[in-house]
Amino acid sequence: MRIIALIIYILLALPALAQQQPSRSDLEKRRQSIMESIRITEQQLEATKKDKNATMGQLRALKSKLAERQRLINNMNEEIDHINNNIKSSSNEVTKLQQNLEVLKMRYAQSVRYAYKTRSSYDMLAFLFSSDDFNEAMRRLKYLKKYRDYRKRQAEDIRLTQNRIENKITDLNHQKSEKDVLLTAEEQQKKVLQNESNETNQVVLQLKGKERELMNEIAANKKSAKQLDRAVAEIIRREMEIARKKAEEEQRRRAEEEARRAAANTGGYGASLPGGRTTPANNTSKPPAGSTAKLPGGSETNAPVASARPKPAPVSYNLSMTPEAAALSSSFENNRGRLPWPVEKGFISDAFGTHRHPVAEKVMIENNGVDITTSNGATARAVFEGTVSKVFYIPGMEWNVLVNHGRYFTLYSKLANVTVKNNQDIKTKQVIGTVSNNEEGQAVMNFQVWKDGAKMDPAGWIAR
């Protein structure tokens, strides 16, 4: 029984595993997307190189480009593995087709030899006229026609099989050529990766002499980030409390509406009694103390008599959200991994979570979202429709916009100016402000995603 269950589980899991494997076209699209991301990063890096002194912006751009270059190489390896699997499959198919072709040729040769031996028209006529009756002669004639058609089909099968073999061999050679091109490109990317790694190490060495300035900058950033974190947590707490009260009010209203409909259906009366009498629906008086109820067999009990009116069915409802907020939240969640970027062009220059500082390696820094470097003067835009919960200013984090998406919230920080206001409904990709420049003159914004007061990695939500 366990073996059968295991086999069924494997059969059900195979389609899911197959769907998880990216196709060749998916890998090609991903490669083009990574190359576009590298191109954008290189543009930002060239802008930072105008300053001859090494900056943190340069270092972040270089590290981002290194990560994207490594992703590109890994993607190429996946493409090469995919091609290798196709080559292996095509080679096996060619071998099978060649084996089938040999069998078809052998059978056709046997048919030709048999036809040669019986080629005389006299033998054919003798075969027909030796029939016992007319019906048998007709059957023999049909047999001869079928045999002739069979030989034609054999020849056609041989021709089709030969064509399939030629097409497969052509496709196989094409795949081998693609593999050679990818291997050459991969080697080139590895050389570029090594050069970029050396350049990154040089920038790190230059920044090592500025550790005191960096430590002061890190401390100031941590202070601003904590202030922002407390402000966002408090705003979300208030928003959730407001949503809870709205949901409770909605539930109360629905319960009253349900009670009014029930009263209208019964005409203000309860269940009918024998003889056509009715009992008022609002009769809630208890039986006198000590009253008894008759049980089967004539025995009595002191238990109170149950009310004849049925209890109303409990209302199934989510107390934390109204139906509209629940629908918005579900729609936001269903778009995970497909949300547009909060800027039109840019790259992630600092990742989510706790990690070591790229220069002061003993210092751990924490990012509640992701830092996105973009071009100067770039506009920030909403990644999904929602309502602006709060527009507020914090020193060091500049202007901030918090947008409500039901259970989810998105935060857009480090804006030079804002074009939306509190409680405003906004659409996907609607401009909400302009990204501010940091001390190094780079346009960098901080983007965060929250769910029920918990921080989430935005990189998993936006399209990559």
pLDDT tens digit sequence for 178-193: 888 888 888 888 888 8
Residue 243 sits in the same domain as residue 392: yes
> Residue 320: pLDDT band by 50, 70, 90 thresholds?
low
Residue 31 sits in the same domain as residue 179: yes
* Amino acid at the residue 395: P
Residue 354 sits in the same domain as residue 385: yes
436-443 average pLDDT score = 87
Residue 88 sits in the same domain as residue 37: yes
Residue 291 forms part of a structural domain? no
CATH number of the domain that residue 176 is part of: 1.10.287
Is the model's pLDDT at 462 over the cut of 90?
yes
Residue 218 sits in the same domain as residue 198: no
Residue range(s) defining the domain that contains residue 387: 211-250+323-460
What per-residue confidence (pLDDT) applies to 283? 46
123-137, 215-229, 359-373: least confidently modelled range: 123-137
Q: Into how many domains does the chain fold?
A: 2
Residue 383 sits in the same domain as residue 420: yes
Residue 101 sits in the same domain as residue 160: yes
Last-in-domain residue among 208, 233, 264? 208
Last-in-domain residue among 208, 235, 262? 208
Percent of the chain clearing pLDDT 90 (strictly above): 23
Residue 111 sits in the same domain as residue 241: no
Residue 219 sits in the same domain as residue 132: no
pTM (predicted TM-score): 0.61
What per-residue confidence (pLDDT) applies to 400? 96
Q: Average pLDDT of the chain?
A: 78
What per-residue confidence (pLDDT) applies to 370? 94
246-260 average pLDDT score = 85
